[in-house]
């Protein structure tokens, strides 16, 4: 009678689900399977910490038990259970040694998906079945159905309807994907599939794994999975880039381009979702195209850069170690995404002072905030040597560029010559206007705004000129704000944006050429006073629902008003206490009002005195 085959699987093949797969396809028919208690302990420890691969392994053990119960295989649990010290030293090979000991004792084939385990077992004289990682054409993931072409991120939580952020970098909205809430089973199926893909796909990997939280990189998606007790319930957040922006689209002036190409210390700053990483990737590509050797330091690695740019993560969990390697490699430029903690700033400074061009991505609500994050972490006099340029973005647009210089002078606001001291001046790149000064006063570091009187008087004239040009094309309210000698922000009602930009941007380009100023067109927000009132006239927002045309004007709650379309009187009404007037869509008034709006007329409210 033929002797039954004996196998001892290690943790890696249990997690991968490869044993049940081989039982089902007949490769392990009538096989005796010996599961070491060390494998059980390791999976149990991972599951107790909320680590997803622990749950996957336990599910595989249950599947093997079911197959054993119907007579497909014989299943035994054997060996010694590891103690606490051995579990803590699992990464050093203590658990692996216990598993190999079982294979030796049972004279069984040792089955592993771990290359190192296989090599050690062969050296020990064991019969080894090394199951190579599966190479396959991967199909779509369950999470893919939540994404559309304009989706930046998907947010899934147990008991909550799935949400997504959609739009472009400058216009992102959080929208509901469906009305039905996510279920626990749905999220578990998605998370387990993602973990499996990260382990099997050579272009995906498990970035970090903590108790209750896992960070994965699946192709170009960064995914965070959280479970209790870390989070109050199971949650999955998946983020992917939807834009790879060429640097030319930012319309950088030649001075800034020259600074970028001269191996400086640059911070790219802005609030979350402002397009910092997209811009950083654009700079990395631009530098590579200009024959610079560029590397990145990222955790996780999700910048969309050319294949020629090598992306590094934290070596052994430490960016300082990564920096040590890069200092030996000597790149011309390194992109550091993201610089957050003190050790990140110190690593950034160490590389910059060693002569490497550095570009760091920093969260901040204002450009000056990015500089203030360096104070206290670096010696004040060293800051301009580490960072001499700060680029601030908002909604995908460059709002301001600051230049840092070190000098000795009497600080702004002081008059006595004997008060001269070392000062860091922070000035606008385009205008050359000094906007802040940083210096020590006693034991304190002072960040002093320079007075508004330093703003060029010519800006007021330029703002009026821009407003006159825009008024030729729209009738609604206009707000103009000069940001530098060559750049302005124009805010108009949402319906007027397309009118100003024109087909393919032709009209705004024409206006820019006439004025010699780059114009950034944005929506005038509803809560802006300039939107609401012009002399004794109010410009409300008008929306159409299924049953009503709704005129909204919060500033005129409970006020009697006359409603006009341009100069044409329509009707008189009382604004509700909620700040709106509702007109049934089936009424003649609604038809007339919508016709006037289509013709380009503004709806105007005039309070009755």
For the beta carbon of residue 173, count every other beta carbon within 10 angstroms.
Answer: 9
3-state DSSP of 297-325: EECCCCCCCCCCCEEECCECCEHHHHHHH
Could you report the per-residue pLDDT of 218-251, keeping only the tens digit for each? 877 889 999 888 888 999 999 887 655 677 777 7
Please indicate whether residue 335 or residue 547 has the higher confidence score (pLDDT).
335
Supply the pLDDT for residue 138.
67
Q: At what angle do helices 184-200 and 52-69 cross, to 10 degrees?
A: 100
Q: Which of 76, 73, 95, 74 is nearest to 86 (CA)?
A: 95
Based on the number of CB atoms within 10 Å of its own CB, is 76 exposed (0-12), middle (13-18) or buried (19 or more)? middle
Q: Among 557-561, 569-573, 597-601, 604-608, which stretch is predicted with the lowest mean pLDDT?
A: 597-601
User: From the centroid of its chain, how far is CA 138?
Assistant: 25
In a 13 Å sphere around the CA of 137, the CA atoms on its Cβ side amount to: 0
Sign of CA dihedral 266, 382, 436, 344: positive
Q: Taking residues 342-363, report their average pLDDT.
A: 93
Supply the pLDDT for residue 85.
63
Q: How far is the CA of 596 from the CAs of 233, 514, 603, in angstroms?
A: 51, 31, 8
Could you report the per-residue pLDDT of 36-62, keeping only the tens digit for each? 998 888 888 877 776 777 888 888 899
Supply the pLDDT for residue 133.
58
Could you report the per-residue pLDDT of 270-316, keeping only the tens digit for each? 988 788 888 898 899 999 999 999 999 987 777 888 888 998 988 88
DSSP string, 489-527: EEEE-HHHHHHHH-GGGHHHHHHHHHHT-EEEEEEPPTT
pTM summary value: 0.57
> Residues of 179-207 as b/e, b for ≥16 C-beta within 10 angstroms?
eeebeeebbbebbbebbbbbbebeebbbb
Contact 342, 304 (CB under 8 A): no
Alpha carbons 32 and 551: distance in angstroms, whole number: 76
Contact 334, 295 (CB under 8 A): yes
Could you report the per-residue pLDDT of 79-121, keeping only the tens digit for each? 877 766 666 655 556 788 888 888 899 899 999 988 888 889 8
Given a cut of 70, whether residue 532 has pLDDT beyond it is no
Alpha carbons 269 and 391: distance in angstroms, whole number: 6
Radius of gyration of the chain (CA): 32
Given a cut of 60, whether residue 531 has pLDDT beyond it is no
Contact 53, 195 (CB under 8 A): yes
Across the chain, mean pLDDT equals 83
Supply the pLDDT for residue 331.
92
Contact 565, 529 (CB under 8 A): no
> Residues of 451-464 as b/e, b for ≥16 C-beta within 10 angstroms?
eeeeeeeebeebbe
User: Which residues have a Cβ under 8 Å from the Cβ of 294 and sit 6 or more positions away?
Assistant: 284, 287, 288, 305, 309, 331, 332, 333, 334, 335
Q: How confident is the model at residue 467 (pLDDT cuts 50, 70, 90)?
A: confident
Q: Which helix (H) or strand (E) holds 174?
A: strand 171-176
Six-digit token string for 185: 């089973």
Please indicate whether residue 325 or residue 413 has the higher confidence score (pLDDT).
325
Which residue ranges form the domains of the chain, and what is each CATH number?
6-130 (3.40.50.1010), 147-239 (3.30.450), 247-452 (3.40.50.300), 458-523 (3.30.300.20), 532-607 (no CATH)
Alpha carbons 481 and 519: distance in angstroms, whole number: 10
User: Which residues have a Cβ under 8 Å from the Cβ of 331 and sit 6 or more positions away?
Assistant: 292, 293, 294, 295, 356
Could you report the per-residue pLDDT of 153-169, keeping only the tens digit for each? 899 999 999 999 887 65
Please indicate whether residue 88 or residue 258 has the higher confidence score (pLDDT).
258
Walk across the sheet containing 109-112 and list its strands: 74-78, 32-36, 6-9, 109-112, 128-130
Supply the pLDDT for residue 386.
95
Based on the number of CB atoms within 10 Å of its own CB, is 26 exposed (0-12), middle (13-18) or buried (19 or more)? exposed
For the beta carbon of residue 533, count every other beta carbon within 10 angstroms.
Answer: 15
Please indicate whether residue 266 or residue 499 has the higher confidence score (pLDDT).
266
Supply the pLDDT for residue 533.
47
Contact 564, 606 (CB under 8 A): yes
Contact 266, 389 (CB under 8 A): yes
Given a cut of 80, whether residue 417 has pLDDT beyond it is no
Supply the pLDDT for residue 356.
93
Q: Among 374-383, 426-435, 457-466, 528-537, which stretch is predicted with the lowest mean pLDDT?
A: 528-537
Q: At what angle do helices 37-48 and 52-69 cross, to 10 degrees?
A: 140
Contact 356, 347 (CB under 8 A): no
User: Which residues have a Cβ under 8 Å from the Cβ of 316 and sit 6 or more positions away?
Assistant: none
């Amino acid at each position: 009678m033929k002797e039954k085959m004996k196998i001892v699987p290690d943790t890696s093949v249990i997690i991968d689900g490869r044993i049940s797969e081989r039982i089902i396809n007949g490769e392990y028919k009538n096989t005796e399977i010996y599961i070491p208690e060390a494998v059980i302990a390791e999976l149990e420890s991972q599951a107790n910490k909320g680590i997803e691969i622990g749950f996957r392994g336990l599910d595989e053990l249950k599947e093997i038990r079911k197959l054993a119960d119907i007579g497909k295989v014989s299943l035994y649990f054997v060996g010694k259970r590891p103690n606490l010290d051995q579990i803590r030293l699992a990464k050093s090979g203590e658990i692996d040694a216990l598993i190999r000991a079982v294979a030796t004792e049972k004279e069984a084939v040792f089955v592993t998906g771990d290359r190192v385990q296989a090599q050690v077992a062969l050296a020990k004289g064991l019969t080894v079945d090394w199951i190579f990682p599966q190479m396959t054409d991967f199909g779509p993931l369950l999470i893919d159905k939540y994404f559309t072409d304009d989706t930046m991120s998907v947010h899934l939580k147990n008991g909550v309807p799935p949400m997504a952020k959609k739009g472009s970098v400058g216009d992102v909205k959080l929208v509901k994907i469906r009305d039905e809430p996510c279920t626990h089973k749905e999220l578990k199926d998605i998370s387990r599939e993602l973990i499996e893909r990260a382990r099997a796909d050579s272009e995906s990997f498990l970035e970090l794994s903590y108790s209750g939280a896992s960070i994965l990189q699946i192709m170009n998606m960064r995914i965070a999975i959280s479970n209790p007790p870390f989070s109050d319930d199971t949650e999955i957040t998946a983020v992917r880039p939807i834009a790879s922006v060429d640097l030319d689209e930012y319309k950088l002036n030649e001075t800034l381009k020259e600074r970028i190409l001269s191996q400086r210390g640059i911070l790219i700053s802005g609030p979350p979702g402002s397009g910092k990483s997209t811009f950083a990737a654009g700079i990395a590509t631009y530098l590579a195209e200009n024959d610079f050797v560029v590397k990145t330091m990222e955790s996780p690695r999700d910048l969309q850069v050319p294949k020629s740019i090598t992306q590094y993560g934290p070596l052994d969990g430490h960016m300082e170690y990564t920096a040590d390697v890069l200092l030996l490699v000597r790149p011309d430029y390194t992109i550091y995404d993201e610089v957050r903690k003190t050790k990140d700033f110190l690593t950034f400074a160490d590389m910059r002072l060693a002569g490497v061009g550095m570009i760091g991505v920093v969260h901040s609500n204002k450009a000056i905030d990015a500089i203030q994050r360096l104070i206290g972490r670096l010696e004040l006099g060293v800051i301009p040597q580490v960072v001499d340029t700060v680029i601030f973005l908002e909604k995908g647009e460059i709002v301001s560029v600051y230049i840092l210089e070190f000098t000795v002078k009497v600080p702004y606001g002081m008059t006595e010559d004997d008060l001269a001291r070392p000062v860091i001046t922070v000035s606008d790149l385009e205008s050359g206007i000094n906007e802040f000064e940083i210096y020590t006063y006693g034991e304190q570091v002072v960040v002093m705004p320079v007075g508004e009187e330093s703003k060029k008087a010519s800006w007021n004239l330029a703002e009026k000129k821009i407003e006159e040009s825009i008024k030729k094309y729209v009738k609604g309210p206009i707000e103009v704000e000069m940001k530098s000698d060559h750049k302005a922000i124009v805010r108009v009602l949402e319906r007027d944006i397309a009118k100003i930009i024109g087909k393919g941007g032709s009209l705004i380009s024409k206006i820019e050429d006439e004025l010699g100023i780059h114009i950034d067109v944005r929506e005038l927000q509803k809560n802006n006073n300039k939107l609401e009132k012009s002399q004794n006239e109010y410009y409300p927002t008008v929306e159409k629902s299924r049953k009503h045309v709704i005129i909204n004007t919060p500033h005129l709650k409970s006020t009697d008003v006359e409603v006009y379309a341009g100069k044409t009187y329509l009707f008189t009404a009382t604004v509700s206490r909620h700040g709106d007037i509702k007109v049934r869509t089936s009424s003649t008034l609604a038809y007339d009002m919508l016709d006037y709006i289509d013709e380009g007329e503004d709806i105007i409210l005039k309070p009755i005195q």
